[in-house]
Structures are given as structure tokens and as C-alpha cells.
Homo-oligomer: A and B are copies of this chain.
């Protein structure tokens, strides 16, 4: 792409209404999927986040970390069982989850944000007791459901100008660690913060009206229609909980909730700073 600087400037100016729309507003980004595993996408996302922060958005980055956790469990020869797609999480496993999420992935993201000129702090559910949790069932062990979000930690960091980077590990009063689903956590955090916007990065184009046709993207859907599609089986598998988190966020007051395709470079920027809605918006 060989553009003159005048053309570049023109493009910047075209972003102005979008910049104004999100100025000083909280935008929660659920980061995951290919955007997290492919190095060039990861770099793009981190630069996008720093840009959004630099032009006045209050970005909160929430991440999980499936593959790296599995890698570490394999490395130390820890076998884990799955029940209904959820990893049975004994104390040792929960420790590994915490260590990989909070010590490796989280701090590496912080490091990358800082290297692009951002100002970031990495926290998890233990810091300021951000995410209080309890067991979903005895069988699953330390797989947690959220009982409370102590949002003041995030607000304190935003007020001081930091990008909070959040590992979705939960805590309780007995110093236990819980593995929390990142979609659920980002939805709960966005709701607690009364965020302007929740963006969930996935490895799909968004909601499809025909699941066999990647071109049948639904640009905008009401929460009632989305609920109906789940009931009718039009949405299935791993998309069901993701969509439910989006519905929940809308119901609890988040103004704009998007599922976008993290495989497309700069998809968050395209969604927030151009006239193109590249994924599905819930309203």
C-alpha cells in the first residue's frame, strides 16, 4: 500500500467521529483464540490496544489461556480429566493454571503493551480480591463461578492511566484459586464497570444465519433473537456460552457488545474506529 501522507492524514481524520464516540469510555476486550496464539496477530492486537488507550479510551484487557495451560500440564506430566468439556481442576492443576495465566501470559502481554509505549499493569482475581468465586460442583474441583466483582481495583488503575490486564483466576476467603471461564469473567467485569463496550474476540466471523455459510454473517441481533437462535439450535457448541455472555452483558447495561473475528488483523480497531461493523453486534 503506497499512500501519500496526505492520504494517511485523511484517513486519520475519518476516524474522528469514532474517536470522539469512545473518548473516556470503558472498553472491555476479551482476548483469546488465534489472536493470542499467532504471533503477528498478537502484536497487532497489542498495538491496537495501546492506540485505543493513547487516543482516550479506557481499555480493559481480559484474557484466558487454554493452550499454554495444557502445554505446561503436559510438560510436568500432569494428567487431567474432562467432564462435559470442563477440565477437572484439582489443587495442583489450579496452581498450574494460576502460574501460567498470571505469571507467563499476563506478564508477557503487559511487557508487550509497555514495549509499544502503553502503560499497563497485570492483575488477577486475587489482586484486591477482584474476582470472588466458589466451586461450581465438587466434581469439577476448583472450576469457579463468580460470586462478586470488586471493581474498585480496575477503577483505581484506570484512574491512574493504566491498561489493566486481567487473568481470569478467582479467589475466595480461604486463599483458594479458581479457574474462571474468560468469557464469563469479561462479561461480568464489563457489567460491573458499566462499560460502554464489550468486544469478544473469537475465531469465527461472528454469528451466522447459516452455520455452513461463512458469508451469512448477522451484523446486528437483538438479545431476544439471539436467545431464540440458541433455543432453536441455530447456535451450537462453543458459541453458545459466548453468546450467552454477550446477552448477559447487554441485559446488565453494557451499551455495545460485539463478537468479532480475531483472525482478521486489527479487527478491534476496525470495529471501534471505522464505519464497518465486522462482527456481530448485540443490542
* A residues in contact (CB < 8 Å) with B: 1, 3, 5-17, 19-20, 23, 44, 47-48, 50-51, 54-56, 75-76, 95, 98-104, 106-108, 110-112, 114-117, 119-124, 126-129, 153, 156, 159-160, 162, 169, 171, 173-175, 177, 264-266, 269-270, 273-274, 276, 278
Contacts and interface: CB of A to CB of B under 8 A. Distances in A.
B107 A8 contact: no
Given A8-B274, A56-B56, A107-B127, 18 more contacts: A1-B3, A5-B274, A5-B276, A8-B14, A8-B270, A8-B273, A10-B265, A12-B15, A13-B51, A20-B54, A20-B117, A54-B55, A75-B76, A101-B103, A102-B106, A102-B107, A119-B128, A156-B162
A175 B103 contact: no
Nearest 10 pairs of A and B residues by beta carbon: A103-B103, A9-B266, A99-B103, A9-B269, A102-B103, A55-B55, A156-B160, A111-B126, A5-B270, A5-B276
Contacts of A278: 5
Given A3-B1, A162-B128, A278-B5, A104 B115 contact: no
Contact of A11 (B12, B117, B159): B12
18 contacts: A1-B10, A8-B270, A8-B273, A9-B269, A9-B270, A12-B51, A13-B51, A16-B50, A16-B116, A75-B76, A98-B104, A102-B107, A103-B104, A103-B106, A107-B127, A108-B175, A115-B175, A119-B128
B274 A174 contact: no
Given A76-B76, A128-B162, A112 B11 contact: no
Number of copies of this protein chain within its complex: 6
Among A3, A9, A76, find the residue whose CB has the most chain B CB atoms closer than 10 A.
A9
Contacts of A124: 107, 122
Contacts of A19: 51, 54-55
A6 B76 contact: no
Contact of A111 (B13, B75, B171, B273): B171
Given A16-B47, A99-B100, A111 B9 contact: no
A11 B8 contact: yes
Contacts of A3: 1, 3, 11
A44 B16 CA distance: 12
